[in-house]
């Protein structure tokens, strides 16, 4: 029965998104949700910007359907659905009128706090050298920081055709594999729906893109990944606090890109919320890589780290921590050599 439900969630999400995208292209043009070419932007022509609304529908409805089917933890599912809806509303308004970054951050803080109160919490941190560390009072700031980091990391990486959607697809495939291995019903169904959404959207968003997902889509993706990875120990029963390592590993590129962006802007004494053209994908474009090549490289790296994250459900913490460290090191060495060669 679970296989049938999983397939149904995937197919419904895929079909709804696939049908909605062409409608959203026309909707974008009618209401003026258009991303115009700018100095900081890569695209050279006006692009429809309401793509996120296409997969927002099934992603908002999926938790409600799960609540009706399983009924256990239904309050968490309803909260996730409401938070997703509010995030889409905020993102759509931002796509239309370009909200202040501080106002967006305020809304993200409010939604993060609401999710924490509703049971989406980081209560333990994995200690590879010993027992897990209980956060206690620090659970609240850690949880809020986690949710905001993932939301903005996904938002920042959405600067290239198919980048955010493709990375999100791989992250959810990784979480789906873990949920199958641990037989976690909630995560199986949530990731099945997400996989269907992103796969259908990539048909229109991969280079050359016909539509962008906008902040409504990228922030929704980030919220969804952050929330389902911290639903509590019962969410991924069997690996407890190590659940964080799966999205951390899979989202290696956007997380590192976000941290480097903050460090770069602080070093230059600039507002950390002011966008620039120094992100990972901008640098790769400068080195002569095409958009397709950059996207495929990003997918490959995400898949590698996702496999490491998946491996945490099979092996010991210490072994996989060493592997993860070696993979991080290898990535930096290869990327550094590419940069040096391109400069020459």
Residue-wise pLDDT for 143-184, tens only, equals 999 999 899 888 888 878 888 999 999 989 988 888 887 788
What pLDDT score was predicted for residue 341?
A: 58
What pLDDT score was predicted for residue 29?
A: 87
What pLDDT score was predicted for residue 122?
A: 83
> CA-based angle 154:65:26, to the nearest 5?
55
Q: Is the pLDDT confidence value at 295 over 70?
A: yes
The mean-pLDDT minimum among 131-135, 261-265, 273-277, 291-295 falls in 273-277
What pLDDT score was predicted for residue 238?
A: 41
Domain residues for the domain of 234 are: 2-343
Question: Cα 22 to the chain's mean position, in Å?
Answer: 23
Which has more pLDDT, 270 or 84? 84
pTM for the model stands at 0.85
Residue 181: is it exposed, middle or buried by C-beta count within 10 angstroms (0-12/13-18/19+)?
middle
- 75: Cβ contacts below 8 Å, ≥ 6 apart: 118, 119
**145 SS3 class:** helix
Q: What is the mean pLDDT of the chain?
A: 81
Are the C-beta atoms of residues 309 and 247 closer than 8 Å to each other? yes
Structure-token pair, residue 267: 């070093």
Q: How many domains does the chain have?
A: 1
Assign 337 a pLDDT band (cuts: 50, 70, 90): low
The mean-pLDDT minimum among 40-49, 99-108, 203-212, 330-339 falls in 330-339
Which has more pLDDT, 193 or 102? 193
Question: Cα 246 to the chain's mean position, in Å?
Answer: 12
**Backbone phi, then psi, for 43, in 5-degree steps?**
-70, 150
**47 SS3 class:** strand
Place of tokens 């590698």: 304
Structure-token pair, residue 289: 């890589």
Assign 239 a pLDDT band (cuts: 50, 70, 90): very low
Identify which of 203, 105, 200, 213 has the alpha carbon closest to the alpha carbon of residue 164: 213
Q: What is the mean pLDDT of residues 60-68?
A: 94
What pLDDT score was predicted for residue 236?
A: 43
- 304: Cβ contacts below 8 Å, ≥ 6 apart: 327
What pLDDT score was predicted for residue 241?
A: 45
Residue-wise pLDDT for 184-198, tens only, equals 888 899 999 999 999
Burial 107-128 (b: 16+ CB within 10 A, else e): bbeebbeebbebebbbbbebee
What pLDDT score was predicted for residue 237?
A: 42
Distance CA 90, CA 142 (A): 23
């Amino acid at each position: 029965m679970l296989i049938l439900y999983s397939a149904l969630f995937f197919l419904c999400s895929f079909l709804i998104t696939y049908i909605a995208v062409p409608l959203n292209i026309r909707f974008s043009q009618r209401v003026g949700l258009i991303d115009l070419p700018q100095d900081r932007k890569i695209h050279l022509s006006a692009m429809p910007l309401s793509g996120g609304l296409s997969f927002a529908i099934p992603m908002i409805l999926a938790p409600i359907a799960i609540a009706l089917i399983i009924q256990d933890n239904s309050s968490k599912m309803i909260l996730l659905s409401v938070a997703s809806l509010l995030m889409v509303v905020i993102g759509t308004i931002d796509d239309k009128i370009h909200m202040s970054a501080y106002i967006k951050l305020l809304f993200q803080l409010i939604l993060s706090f609401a999710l924490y109160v509703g049971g989406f919490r980081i209560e333990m941190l994995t200690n590879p050298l010993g027992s897990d560390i209980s956060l206690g009072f620090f659970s609240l700031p850690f949880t809020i920081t986690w949710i905001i980091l993932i939301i903005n990391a996904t938002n920042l990486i959405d600067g290239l055709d198919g980048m955010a959607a493709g990375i999100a697809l791989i992250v959810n495939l990784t979480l789906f594999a873990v949920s199958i291995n641990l037989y976690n019903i909630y995560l199986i169904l949530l990731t099945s729906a997400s996989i269907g959404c992103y796969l259908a959207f990539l048909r229109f968003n991969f280079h050359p893109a016909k539509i962008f997902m906008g902040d409504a889509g990228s922030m929704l993706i980030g919220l969804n990944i952050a929330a389902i990875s911290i639903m509590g120990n019962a969410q991924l029963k069997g690996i407890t606090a190590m659940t964080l390592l799966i999205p951390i590993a899979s989202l290696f590129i956007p997380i590192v890109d976000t941290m480097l962006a903050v460090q770069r802007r602080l070093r230059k004494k600039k507002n950390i919320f002011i966008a620039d053209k120094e992100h990972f994908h901008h640098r790769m474009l400068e080195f002569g890589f095409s958009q397709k090549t950059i996207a495929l490289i990003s997918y490959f790296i995400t898949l590698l780290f996702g496999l490491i994250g998946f491996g945490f459900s099979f092996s010991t913490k210490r072994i996989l921590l060493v592997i993860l460290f070696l993979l991080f090191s290898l990535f930096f060495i290869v990327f550094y050599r590419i940069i040096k060669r391109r400069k020459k």
